Chain A
Amino acid sequence: MYKPRNIIIGVIAFLALIFFPVWSSLFTTGEAVGAEISLDTPMINAMENPKCVEDTEWMRANHMKLLADWKVEVVRNGNRIYVAEDGQKYLASLQNTCFECHSNYDEFCLKCHEYNNVSPTCWTCHVEPTVVEEGNK
């Protein structure tokens, strides 16, 4: 037979830990479920059939893999040409291919990366797009 006081404290601590995400979500402002990324850029709007290098769904989950593969191909093998699944050829370049369409870094890359708490190391080598914009002004 235990003292009820200790048991109640233990159970409350257990519940507080288990439901941490639930009660902590009450104190945060982030109401929107999911990160809304914007495809509203001049280049994409000008496209008749907006299409990324690969299938959109595939890109959502695998773009980091694609970029890593590009890095190896370009830096180690010197191969700048990427042949997509549908046979279309692209210049394998983050700055010249990806950012040509997705020129809205803050509304595109950053939205998802912040939402999912990932900090890719793109900008240890490449120039961060926002910095370029500020430089151009």
Chain B
Amino acid sequence: MNVAVALVIVLAILAIAYVGVELLGLAFVFSVVLPYVAVAVFVVGFIYRIVKWAKSPVPFRIPTTCGQQKSLDFIKQNKIENPSSRGWVIVRMALEVLCFRSLFRNSSAELTEKGDLAYQWEKWLWLFALVFHWSFFFVIIRHMRFFTDPVPGFVTLWEKIDGVFWVDLQQLYLTGVLLLVGITFLFIRRVVIPRVRYISLVNDFLPLLLIMGIAITGLMMRYLTHADISAIKELTMGLITFHPVVPEDLSMVFYAHLTLVCSLLIYFPMSKLMHAAGIFMSPTRNMANNNRMERHINPWNPEVEVHTYEQYEDEFRDKMRAVGLPLEKDI
């Protein structure tokens, strides 16, 4: 059911693009207004979410660890799993962000025939998640050829590496294909595994289907329908230099691609896709485990009035001496 709703939303977006561009002739709206609005919503929404998170209280030192913490000299500390300094927190965070380290620990729990709970090796989610995210990153890097003139060297270099395989006379960009493979796996996983499907909501499927649509339309333009990239670059360069022009020969596939990308950008700040920023702000990940070395005081603890033993003794010294109680300070 949730899949169907998400699919309908994506198809509706495509239908709106078709009606708007093809039937109503609103090419300007879809190629200029929508991208500007989308980027504005994306950036403002993204920063809004970050600021909101930044303001929320983090009263405790709560790093999650899974290794030996810093202890006596002869006990070896696991510095990555249980960092006690800022530097190792950065190492740990970098591994998490770049290699999805915690996802690598994923295992699948299943009941055996006897009824015992058994944990099994399960690396597929990690592998395809990694493939998907890195492919998406490199696909975006490759798209920079439409947004820069002259195109910077790192983009050209990556195009050479990415397109090392040639199909006939055309470079086959591996990351483009891997992006679709990765996202398809992530989608199928949600649909096929009953437990995962049970907890999957519309907002789990929608980003997957949106990105799948983007990948499919993108691959179509490159390998099947052959988009006029000169016209596309005219549009994109016009957008980034704030002198928008609408070239006439943009195909419907391109409009579908662009509209889906804009939808994704608009949807991004209000969706689970914000994990891109959230990962850096996870209190369990971005803190050093130095609880035993430093005292962390909750910053908004109220001042508590205390009556120490010294004060107590000062107050009752004479009476205590009179009944023969021991005194710490006998003046």
Residues B149 and A28 in contact, CB atoms below 8 Å apart? yes
Point out the residues of chain A lying under 8 angstroms from B39, CB to CB: 18
Most buried by B among A60, A117, A121: A117
What are the residues of chain A within 8 A of B237 when measuring CB–CB? 25, 33-34
Name which residue of chain B comes closest to A35, CB basis: B230
Stretch at the interface among A9-17, A39-47, A78-86: A9-17
Min Cβ gap A120→B in Å is 7
- Per-position binary interface string of chain A over residues 110-127, scored 1 when its CB falls under 8 Å from any chain B CB and 0 otherwise: 001011111011000000
Q: Which of B205-262 contact A (CB under 8 A)?
A: 226-231, 233-234, 237-238, 240-241, 243, 245, 247, 249, 251
Selecting from B51-59, B97-105, B121-129, the interface stretch reads B51-59
Q: Which residues in A have their C-beta under 8 angstroms from that of B170?
A: 64, 68
A17 to chain B, nearest CB (A): 10
Q: Does A95 contact B (CB under 8 A)?
A: no
Cβ 8 A contact of B148, one of A15, A21, A60: A21
A22 at the interface (CB under 8 A from B): yes
In contact, A1 and B230 (Cβ under 8 angstroms): no
Bound form: Cα–Cα A118–B222 in Å: 13
Contact yes or no, B145 A117, CB < 8 A = yes
Measured CA separation A118–B156 after assembly (Å): 9
Across chains A and B, the number of contacting residue pairs, with CB separation under 8 Å, is 101
Residues from chain A with a CB closer than 8 A to the CB of B228 are 57, 60-61
Which of A2, A24, A60: most chain B CB closer than 10 A?
A2
**Of A25, A61, A120, which contacts B241 at CB under 8 A?**
A25
Say if the beta carbon of B152 comes within 8 Å of chain A: yes
- Binary interface encoding of chain B residues 147-178 relative to chain A, with 1 for a CB under 8 A from any of its CBs, else 0: 11111100110010000001011100000000
A19 CB to nearest B CB, Å: 8
B54 touches A2 (CB 8 A): yes
Contacting residues, chain B, for A121 (C-beta < 8 A): 166, 169
CB distance from A65 to the nearest CB of B (A): 6
Are the CB atoms of B57 and A28 closer together than 8 Å?
no
Is B50 in the interface zone, CB < 8 Å from A? yes
Q: Give chain A residues whose Cβ lies under 8 Å from the Cβ of B151.
A: 117
Task: Out of B144, B169, B234, B299, name the residue touching A21 (CB < 8 Å).
Answer: B144
22 contacts between A and B (CB under 8 A): A1-B56, A1-B57, A1-B299, A2-B58, A4-B54, A10-B277, A14-B50, A18-B42, A20-B144, A25-B237, A25-B240, A30-B150, A34-B230, A35-B230, A57-B228, A64-B169, A64-B170, A68-B169, A115-B149, A117-B151, A120-B169, A121-B169
Known: A1-B56, A30-B150, A117-B155. 11 other contacts (CB 8 A): A2-B54, A2-B58, A18-B42, A25-B149, A25-B241, A33-B238, A34-B230, A61-B249, A64-B226, A68-B169, A116-B145
- Measuring CB to CB, which residues of chain B are less than 8 angstroms from any residue of chain A? 39, 42-43, 46-47, 50-51, 53-58, 144-145, 147-152, 155-156, 159, 166, 168-170, 226-231, 233-234, 237-238, 240-241, 243, 245, 247, 249, 251, 277, 280-281, 299
Residue positions of A touching B, CB distance < 8 A:
1-2, 4, 7, 10-11, 14-15, 18, 20-22, 24-25, 28, 30, 33-35, 57, 60-62, 64-65, 67-68, 71-72, 112, 114-118, 120-121
